[in-house]
Amino acid sequence: MSSNRYLLDFDGVAVHQGWPTLKLLYVSSAQYGGDWHSSTHAHDCTELFYVVSGVGQFMVEGKLFPVLADDLVVINPSVEHTELSRDNRPLEYIVLGVDGLEFAPSQEEDSRYCIMRLQGQREDILPYLRILLREAELKQTGYELVCQNILEILTVQLSRRVGLSASPGGHYTSKECALVRRYIDSHFKENITLSQLSDLVHINKYYLVHTFSREYGVSPISYLISRRLQESKYLLSRTNHSLSQISHMLGFSSPSYFSQSFRRAEKMSPLEYRKLCHAKELEPAAQP
């Protein structure tokens, strides 16, 4: 297996205001040979894995899916993964390690990764990746700024296809906190307790509250409530479900607790929010 990896140091380099925490940590290129053996691993940053050629599989925490030329896989921080290549059509790929960026899934999507099928769009993506490799390898004057600007262009292009967001605080997230956050994102409608979350990551629940709050600025349960309230705003504006139904669907212990939590966060009751949304829909369109 041939592999090249280039680390980057962007201390003191200005970052575009649109992605204030975005930072390119490394660029790697690799082509598989018969001497390579797969092993799972995880990173503190997000990885963008672009398949230049070949056919293989990607494994994410035990789940396998196929990849081929012009697929791009985005792996969120602290997610265990590896790639598997076919001997007759070995994988060649380019990887970016990016701090301050995460895949932001919709409710139906897996919160750990996404895969973009970019067949037919090769010339929109691959030339930028090759420039990043060349700049990181040669390290000529101003290479940091070139790499940073190209990264932001790529980020904008990819965000048009899938949800990408700035990761909280733009700093590394512990594996345990990241796992708890992803679990809440995927199961927020269920009855989740702090004890369940602490059992999930095998750490003391009081320590979990401390570390999660330090990483994300809120406790695990506060984050859970915010995810439920976020979904409730959609249900209030787009459905005719009663408050009791919405409360039950989203895992609140009672309709009154749902209403109290909503009012505390939005400074209005759920019914007031629904009336406001409906009133906006009835407003006449502005005249040209």
Q: Low-confidence residues of the chain, pLDDT below 50?
A: 12-20, 169-172, 286-288
Query: What was the pLDDT predicted at 263?
Result: 94
Query: What was the pLDDT predicted at 192?
Result: 93
Q: Which of 204, 156, 208 is nearest to 184 (CA)?
A: 208
Query: What was the pLDDT predicted at 103?
Result: 80
Query: What was the pLDDT predicted at 221?
Result: 94
- Residue 160, judged by CB atoms within 10 A of its CB (0-12, 13-18, 19+), counts as exposed
Query: What was the pLDDT predicted at 84?
Result: 86
Domain with CATH 1.10.10.60 in the chain: 174-281
Query: What was the pLDDT predicted at 43?
Result: 79
CATH number of 174-281: 1.10.10.60
Q: Is 169 left (phi over 0), alpha (psi -120 to 50) or beta?
A: left
Give the separation between CA 128 and CA 152, rounded to whole angstroms.
11
| In CATH, 2-169 is 2.60.120.10 | yes
Query: What was the pLDDT predicted at 265?
Result: 92
Residue 137 sits at φ, ψ, to 5 deg, of -75, -45
Query: What was the pLDDT predicted at 93?
Result: 94
Domain with CATH 2.60.120.10 in the chain: 2-169
